Amino acid sequence: MAMTPGVIDNFDSIARQLDNPGSPSPEHLDLNALRLLHHYSTSSYATLDRITSQHHIWQHFMVQLGFEHKYVLRGILAIAALHIAAVDRTSIAGMLIQASTQYNRGLRDFRTELRAMSTKNSIPIVAFSCFTVINAFAAGQVTVLQKPISDLLNCLGLIRGVGSVMRPYWYSLLQSELRPILDNGWMCGVSGEVPELLRLKSLIQSVITFTNPHMATKYNAAVEKLHEVILEIQSAVEHRSTLALLFIWPTELSEEFMSCLVEQEPVSLIILAHFAAILSYARDIWWVKGWDEYIISNVDECLPPDLRTWLDWPKQISQAANQDGSPLGA
């Protein structure tokens, strides 16, 4: 069917405007961003967690959220760039630049949104917060960690931050498309005992209790919560996220215990090494892989010789995961 003169005139008018140097230029088509988005939508989304029934949230809902909130989209693109760098080592230099650029731009806008957080923008804020955690862990796959303990504490701080951001809006978030992901973190209350972990209480008793009974309580609480998490992971069925269960631990730690970790107090580092060992159970997820080895090795270097035998169990768990991927007897 022939086009009417009016339609042709409209196209001619648009063409003249584009040719006019004084007219606004059309938005630049960023091919790099499109490549990253394509990679995320076809590959990266399925690598963020092993719960296949929730992959559609990462693949479709998060991307749609990114179209509505640019900082979320930038978080997605940063993860895609890091994923490409992790699977194609020849692309590391270029992908790190893209990841850093996208993440930092997204972070700037995110901080502005965070200052005015409400029920209306809580979903994209929580989504980007999740991407910040993944981004921090993923950086360990494509860069050499100079200070693994400090880097992990940064990751744990981000996880704690996600919890703080969600807490005031928890019930409204449960009504959103994010609910399946949020439900991953429910504790069922599993009975049992992991003697290798509980024996840390004797270490606390001998080293901490007599000098600082108050801090001994905080240390014991950290051990008990980690013990609960391990039991949950051991009994977890396929539809439950190991990562979500693992990340319960840092959200439950006291500020006093976190301060001891920052100061690298030896007993607190031994407890951290036990947590790192449990991270090995999620080592089939690319952005977590290898963190157990980094941390256990770094803690080993920081401990006085008489305390290093307390790392025997974490080392055993980590080595077993490297060999057959089945730590904890799971």
Q: What is the pLDDT along the chain (330 residues), one digit of tens a residue?
A: 444 445 445 445 544 544 455 444 445 668 999 999 999 999 999 999 988 989 999 999 999 999 999 999 999 999 999 999 999 999 999 999 999 999 999 999 999 999 999 999 999 999 999 999 999 999 989 988 889 999 999 999 999 999 999 999 999 999 999 999 988 877 666 778 888 999 999 999 999 887 888 999 999 999 999 999 999 888 766 667 888 899 999 999 999 999 999 999 999 999 999 999 999 988 889 999 999 999 999 999 999 999 999 999 999 999 988 776 544 433
Structural tokens at position 214: 């108050």
CB 318 within 8 A of CB 293: yes
pLDDT tens, 279-297? 998 888 999 999 999 999 9
pTM for this prediction? 0.87
Helix (H) or strand (E) holding 129: helix 122-142
CA angle (191 as vertex; 179, 215 as ends), nearest 5 = 85
Q: Give the number of other CB atoms < 10 A from CB of residue 279.
A: 27
CB 318 within 8 A of CB 296: yes
One-letter amino acid at 139 equals: A
Helical pair 255-262 and 148-166, crossing angle rounded to 10 deg: 160
Q: What share of the chain is helix, strand, coil (3-state, %, to 5)?
A: 75, 0, 25
Q: How far apart are the first and last CA of the chain?
A: 67
313 three-state secondary structure: helix
CA–CA distances in Å: residue 169 to residues 166, 176, 253: 5, 11, 21
